[in-house]
Structure 1
Amino acid sequence: MSDLTRAMGISRPSLYAAFGNKEETFRQAIARYARVDMAYVDEALGQPTAYEVAAHYLRSNVEAVTRPERPAGCLSIQGGLAGNPEDQRIIDFLAASRRAGEARFSERFRQAIEDGNLSAAEDPADLARYLAAVAAGIAVQAAGGATRSELQAVAERSLRAFPQTPAA
């Protein structure tokens, strides 16, 4: 909080007056992060096929977690991994946020099955969990120093395992 108030040029009471307590301030920061820095999720979900959803999501994720002007990694992932026991409500909030995102992908893949561009043999929840695991791994690797090109290779390798067309 000291770094934040110093960067904003305001006092803690002013920050809390504007945004609420520390937890509420963090929740608002996460909401903005999702809306602005993760806008690519909505773009991905709007793609015409399940494969294009996955491709847009993973490729955009690599770009987002390796932006040179930002700390490497993902705020949601890093926040969930670095939390202290006294921050359990925040850790739970971040986990619920990630599960909600996963549910959106699951629903989109369910729609892809109905649209006929994903085999009915596929499990939408499994595909969504797969994407979430790959994206989280990419974020952790970025925070650990992996380069954008290394992570692009991970995304492309992962996409080779993603179904592209319905089974005949």
Structure 2
Amino acid sequence: MAVIGRPREFDRDAALEAAMFLFWRKGFSATSMNDLCDAMGVRSPSLYAAFGSKEALYLEAVEHYVRTQGLRVWGKLAEGATARAGIENLLIAGTESLPKSRATPAGCMAVLAAVGDEWPAAIARVAKKVRLEMLGMLHARLQTAVAKGELPASTDVDGLSRFYLSVFQGMAIQARDSTTQAELRAVAEAAMAAWPGSG
């Protein structure tokens, strides 16, 4: 006769969401297992049984961030009728979502994973992968703009993609330093003024 395990005594999705917000706010190294147990409302054995390890939990939290918080911002890139409008939408969404609010910590979890912490190799790889995916999204949008004639054929698509990713990443780090929404909006406007042909 098969042995049936005890049913899980917590909502795994809600616990993962709580872990995501805690890691986002404190970073990987500064977050202890006790912190995680308290935030997630679980005991240590249950946490390990459900997620395996602190590192595995962080990796899953980053994936959850990308699917939820990240998509809300980066989804704006596809919403503009033109590449310029899409990138402007992305940066404006950043000005609204990156500053600390009652609902979220400051900054972008995927960007913040690049700075200020000693990361296990697996986490560093995943964080880099996410940032490269951001770059790829910008590159694809700009490449399409060249193909459609929105941008000249001579446009340095790689350089322009890296420029706007650097702007977004810089905004995320500045937001962590308590830069206001209005100040971030000024950064976004300056970045859009640098769009090819705007001068």
Do these two structures clear the TM 0.5 threshold for a shared fold by scoring above it?
A: yes
Q: Which deviations, in whole Å up to 9, do the C-alpha atoms of 1:65-110 show, x marking residues without a partner?
A: 11412221111222221221x5233123212210121012101211
| SS at structure 1 position matched to 2:106 | coil
Give the CA deviation at 1:164. 6.0
Question: Equivalents in 2 of 1:127, 1:13: separation in Å?
Answer: 48
Q: Indicate which of 88, 101, 106 corresponds to 1:55.
A: 88
Equivalences for residues 1-168 of structure 1 within 5 A:
1-39=33-71, 40-69=73-102, 70-84=104-118, 87-163=120-196
Q: With CA pairs under 8 Å and 6+ residues apart, which has the higher RCO, 1 or 2?
A: 1
Give the CA deviation at 1:155. 0.6
Give the CA deviation at 1:42. 2.1
Contact 1:51 1:164 in 2 (8 A): no
Contact 1:138 1:151 in 2 (8 A): yes
Q: What amino acid sits opposite 1:18 in the alignment?
A: A
Give the CA deviation at 1:129. 0.6
Give the CA deviation at 1:23. 2.0
Percent identical among aligned pairs is 31
Q: What amino acid sits opposite 2:116 in the alignment?
A: A
Over aligned residues, Cα RMSD in angstroms?
1.7
Unaligned runs of 5+ in 2: 1-32
| SS at structure 1 position matched to 2:120 | helix
- Between structure 1 and structure 2, the one with the greater Rg is 2
Contact 1:102 1:129 in 2 (8 A): yes
Unaligned runs of 5+ in 1: none
Question: Equivalents in 2 of 1:53, 1:164: separation in Å?
Answer: 16
Judging by fraction of residues, say which structure has more helix: 1
Question: Equivalents in 2 of 1:95, 1:57: separation in Å?
Answer: 20
Number of residue pairs the alignment of both structures matches:
164
Give the TM-score taking structure 1 as reference length.
0.89
Give the TM-score taking structure 2 as reference length.
0.76
